[in-house]
Amino acid sequence: MSSQPNPPAQPGVTRGRERQSLVDALRGFALLGILVVNIASFSSTYYGAGIPDPMAQSVLERAALLVRTLVFETKFYLLFSFLFGYSFTLQMQSAERDGKAFAPRMGRRLVGLWVLGLAHAVVLYHGDILTTYAVLGAVLLMLRRRGDVFMARCAIGLVLLTSLLWASIGFLLTKAGIPSDTRTAHADAVAALAAYRGTPFTVIVQHLRELSQIWWITGLVQAPTALAMFFAGFIAGRRELFVNADAYRPLFRRLLLWGLVIGLPGAAVYAFPSIRLDNAVKELYGLAATLLTAPFLTAAYAAGMVLLMMTPRGRVLEGVLAPAGRMALSNYLLQSLVCAWLFLAYGLRWIGTMGPLAATGIAFVIFAAQLVLSRWWLRRFVYGPVEWLLRAFTNLELPPMRRKPVAPAQRGSSVDS
């Protein structure tokens, strides 16, 4: 396995367990972006249907739709995927510290993640990413001993091939001259709306129907790019990117600059056809563009956040976001639970009653509440509830749940990873 030595730590750099709060803060930041995108599916059956949403026709609503598409879509699941790959190396280190075989331990973790994801997809949200992560995690588990160069080449190849695939599909549609079937798309959106407003049973049936229809999109869009970011995150984890954040400051600055230069034009090419919805081929070309450039914009987001959180004021932001990121799995599922209650037949049935502006506002309110709840929870408990359950299954033993009281002299001496 090829690797490069870690750069020497600079004076004042904090190494070890306490620096993992930076990873947690980035994970919390990713949770916000994921919620802003996911709530679009909960609030409207027209999302992703290729036809205009009746609730997104005003100037303000279209502006909100543009911001969501330009800034959030196709970026934050990549950041979450990168952090999954990074955390994979932390799991390896944990197994080594405990003197346990890593592969069986991670295998159980991935099985547990897949089961949670399947239940999540069927009951709460058909756009679940956990099952995909479980499968891709198995790929990373098998390739974990390969060198950085191999993984980097795989990551680049996956992004290039996925982008080329969708550009080729757009080109073939242009040659074939196949018109968009907007009538069927509209009928499907109306039928889905009725199902989601019906009963909990009709919600589950609709989820199963949509899962049977979108699995290939997940396989040809999200899965390969997420795996590419797994590889990138794994390489970063090997090199302790966030442990040695000060030493890597020049790299973060370059990522911020070039990520914006390359990523923003690609995001614009994707965003404008997606909000106009008047040309399916342009939408496919836009998708190809964002698949190619979104990793750069994601890197810019992450680098900008890291540089910010390395400042004194940014440390405050890190402290606010880190608790949510430390229990990211619980918060991800809680987001879907709250949205399902708000928008579906499990509760208030708000689906189809508001546009992107209100839905995005609700997403920020939910996330703000999660920041407060996460901080409150982790003052009393060691793990988030779902993290505790998954850890118990992974290690085949019950971990401690309640946090032990800390003596006054010890407070603030360390931060849990």
pLDDT at 13 over 60: no
What percent of the chain is modeled with pLDDT above 70?
90
CA distances from 50 to 102, 300, 354 (A): 44, 29, 18
pLDDT at 358 over 50: yes
Mean pLDDT along residues 351-368: 97
Picking from 258, 243, 320, the residue whose alpha carbon sits closest to that of residue 31 is: 320
CB 92 within 8 A of CB 143: no
Q: Of residues 252 and 49, which shows the higher confidence score? A: 252
317: Cα separation from own chain's centroid: 20
What is d(CA 182, CA 187) in angstroms, rounded to the nearest whole number?
9
pLDDT at 179 over 80: no
pLDDT at 178: 67
What is d(CA 417, CA 414) in angstroms, rounded to the nearest whole number?
9
CB 56 within 8 A of CB 62: yes
Q: Residue 122 — pLDDT band, cuts 50, 70, 90?
A: very high
- pTM, entire model: 0.90
- A 10 A CB-CB count for 12 gives 6
pLDDT at 416 over 90: no
Mean pLDDT along residues 38-67: 91
Q: Residue 361 — pLDDT band, cuts 50, 70, 90?
A: very high
Q: Specify which of 18-27, 92-101, 142-151, 238-247 reaches the highest per-range mean pLDDT.
A: 142-151
In the block, tokens 């997403």 appear at 363
3-class SS at 402? strand
pLDDT at 14 over 80: no
pLDDT at 6: 41
What is d(CA 79, CA 297) in angstroms, rounded to the nearest whole number?
10
3-class SS at 398? coil
Residues 6+ positions from 205 with CB-CB distance below 8 Å: 195
In the block, tokens 């030493």 appear at 247
pLDDT at 170 over 70: yes
Give the pair of three-digit tokens for residue 154: 């795989």
CA distances from 121 to 14, 99, 117, 171 (A): 40, 35, 6, 33
Picking from 98, 378, 401, 125, the residue whose alpha carbon sits closest to that of residue 106 is: 98
Residues 6+ positions from 74 with CB-CB distance below 8 Å: 267, 270, 290, 291, 294
User: What letter would DSSP give residue 410?
Assistant: G
Give the pair of three-digit tokens for residue 64: 């909100």
Residues 6+ positions from 304 with CB-CB distance below 8 Å: 256
What average pLDDT is seen over the chain? Answer: 89
- Let me know the angle formed at the C-alpha of 112 by 213 and 76, rounded to the nearest 5 degrees: 60
pLDDT at 244: 87
Q: Of residues 284 and 178, which shows the higher confidence score? A: 284
Return left, alpha or beta for 344; rule: phi > 0 is left, psi -120 to 50 is alpha, else beta.
Answer: beta
What is d(CA 123, CA 337) in angstroms, rounded to the nearest whole number?
9
pLDDT at 98: 85
pLDDT at 112 over 70: yes
Q: Residue 356 — pLDDT band, cuts 50, 70, 90?
A: very high
pLDDT at 406 over 90: no
Picking from 332, 305, 306, 297, the residue whose alpha carbon sits closest to that of residue 78 is: 297
Q: Residue 276 — pLDDT band, cuts 50, 70, 90?
A: low
Q: Indicate if the alpha-carbon torsion angle 267, 270, 272, 274 is positive or negative.
A: negative
- List the end-to-end C-alpha distance of the chain, in Å, as a whole number: 26
Picking from 245, 269, 249, 247, the residue whose alpha carbon sits closest to that of residue 257 is: 249
Give the pair of three-digit tokens for residue 36: 């802003």
What is d(CA 301, CA 312) in angstroms, rounded to the nearest whole number?
19
